[in-house]
Chains A and B, each alone.
Chain A
Amino acid sequence: MANLKDIRKRIGSIESIKQVTRAMKLVAAAKLRRAQSNMEQARPYARRINGVLNHLLPDIDRTTHDLLTMRPARQMAFIILTSDRGLCGSFNTNILRQAELIVKGAGKEHSKLICIGRKGYEYFSKRGYDVVEHYSDFWNELNFSHAIKMASAVSDRYLAGEFDDVRVIFNEFKNVAQQEIVEYHYLPLVLEEDDEAVRTDYLFEPSKDEVVKSLVPRHLNIQMWRFLLESNAAEQAARMTSMEAATNNAGDLIDALRLEYNKARQAAITTEILEVVSGAEALVE
């Protein structure tokens, strides 16, 4: 019977889709674990750099350092972090929608975009935004040198006067089931309230100014590293949850189809029996 065969085929194909989504879920879970341990490792360094900078900044004349000087924000830049690949639920959609709103709010014509991750680049370059730089195909071998490369590219452009204010828009990893889209003021440097203030009076070698000069790029690098790690962890978490949902849905679908299949099979058997019986009865008479 054609109907039975069709259902069997559908069950077969959904079965294999389910296998794929389950495999993707497991891979995402493994990557998430690695991303989380990277985040764990980066924390002490980030905290100390932040602590020392917080301690120093109030004493420093901001105008002597280009990366600290506030200047009128005529030209904005937005760094937008997305993933390279899809199948991670609303991870990219959400951030792209929100980022577009933010950029439009700032004025499309005086905004430059730096897209980290292929999805963002595709989205914004198609819509006529000024994407000055984009990175993709690195998430799998993500390491600290990527952060250094991106951070120095951004600060070089900033120092060249290409833009006066840099924001980062990225998905922050809250927990496995939750990401939060965050807008962060990257340049000029503003500091969050410190969690670990440095109280001691230090001797600075070679000088306070020099130390700040060398600290600021370090700080920008580690911040960039944090964005990459957060976004990566959030992406893997999103993928894991959505693939888990997909696997469950495939299971539900298979159950429903199997029920239908059995019903159809029963119906077929009943008709056959009916035919046999009525045939036999016809013979008796």
Chain B
Amino acid sequence: MAAQFHLEIITPTKVYDEGQVDYLRAPGVDGAFGVMAGHTDSIMALDIGELKVVKGSVNKIYASTKGFAEITKTGVQLLVESAEPQSDIDLTRAQKAYERAKGHLNHGQNKMDDELRAQRAIARALNRLKVGKRK
């Protein structure tokens, strides 16, 4: 059994303590990266995407949004604005949010920040849908 490290996913509304895990894959802004025990101390900016946590033979997947990962000798702390375990994702809600944001984008007034906001909402909803539908 390879060495393990401690993983915590910290969001403003909830802390998910994953305990000792073997492997983490996280969506960095320059592409996904993997973390195993003994990683160099680092701080990585994270993009909207999918977190994969491997604990023994169990895989766990989260849909997460922007934030960053703090990696130290003692463990990894992911600070993201939201993280949802795959099992908690409500697909119909995500689909609705997606359509709503899409509607905003198409029919909204042509204000720059509105457009940007709608695009962000779309990205979040799509991510949720993608992660939710994964087997």
Task: List residues of chain A with CB under 8 Å of any chain B CB.
Answer: 38, 41-42, 44-46, 48-49, 52, 143-144, 147-148, 152, 156, 200-206, 210-211, 214-215, 218, 221-222, 225
* B43 with A205: CB separation less than 8 A: yes
Mark out the residues of chain B between 1 and 34 whose CB falls within 8 Å of any chain A CB in the assembled complex: 10-15, 28-30, 33
For the complex, give the distance between the alpha carbons of A46 and B14 in Å. 12
Say which one of B49-57, B74-82, B98-106 lies at the interface with A.
B74-82
Q: Which residue of B12, B33, B42, B77 is within 8 Å of A202 (Cβ)?
A: B42
Interface size class of B (residues with CB under 8 A): 20 to 34
Is the C-beta of B113 less than 8 angstroms from some C-beta in chain A? Answer: yes
Report the minimum CB–CB distance from A95 to chain B (whole Å). Answer: 24
* B12 with A41: CB separation less than 8 A: yes
* A45 with B42: CB separation less than 8 A: no
Residues of A within 8 A of B130 (CB): none
Report the minimum CB–CB distance from A55 to chain B (whole Å). Answer: 9
Q: Which residue of B15, B41, B45 is within 8 Å of A41 (Cβ)?
A: B15
Residues of B within 8 A of A144 (CB): 12-13, 81-82
Q: Which residue of A41, A52, A152 is within 8 Å of B70 (Cβ)?
A: A52
Residues of A within 8 A of B117 (CB): 152
Given contacts A52-B70, A203-B42, A204-B42, contact A214 B10 (CB under 8 A): no
Residues of A within 8 A of B113 (CB): 152, 156
Task: List residues of chain B with CB under 8 Å of any chain A CB.
Answer: 10-15, 28-30, 33, 40-45, 66-68, 70, 72, 77, 79, 81-82, 113, 117
For the complex, give the distance between the alpha carbons of A143 and B81 in Å. 12
* B13 with A205: CB separation less than 8 A: no
Residues of A within 8 A of B28 (CB): 205-206
Q: Which residue of A148, A205, A215, A221 is within 8 Å of B42 (Cβ)?
A: A205
* B77 with A48: CB separation less than 8 A: yes
- Pull 21 A–B residue pairs with CB atoms less than 8 Å apart, ordered by A: A38-B13, A48-B10, A48-B70, A144-B81, A200-B41, A202-B41, A202-B42, A203-B41, A204-B43, A205-B42, A205-B43, A205-B44, A205-B45, A206-B29, A206-B30, A210-B45, A211-B44, A211-B68, A214-B45, A214-B66, A215-B68
For the complex, give the distance between the alpha carbons of A204 and B72 in Å. 12
Q: Which residue of B10, B15, B43 is within 8 Å of A211 (Cβ)?
A: B43
Report the minimum CB–CB distance from A139 to chain B (whole Å). Answer: 16
Instruction: Output the nearest chain A residue to B8 by Cβ-Cβ distance.
Output: A44
Instruction: Output the nearest chain B residue to A210 by Cβ-Cβ distance.
Output: B45
Instruction: Output the nearest chain A residue to B30 by Cβ-Cβ distance.
Output: A206
For the complex, give the distance between the alpha carbons of A121 and B83 in Å. 34
11 more CB-based (< 8 A) A-B contacts, given A44-B10, A205-B42: A41-B13, A42-B13, A45-B10, A45-B12, A48-B10, A48-B77, A144-B13, A147-B12, A205-B45, A206-B28, A215-B45
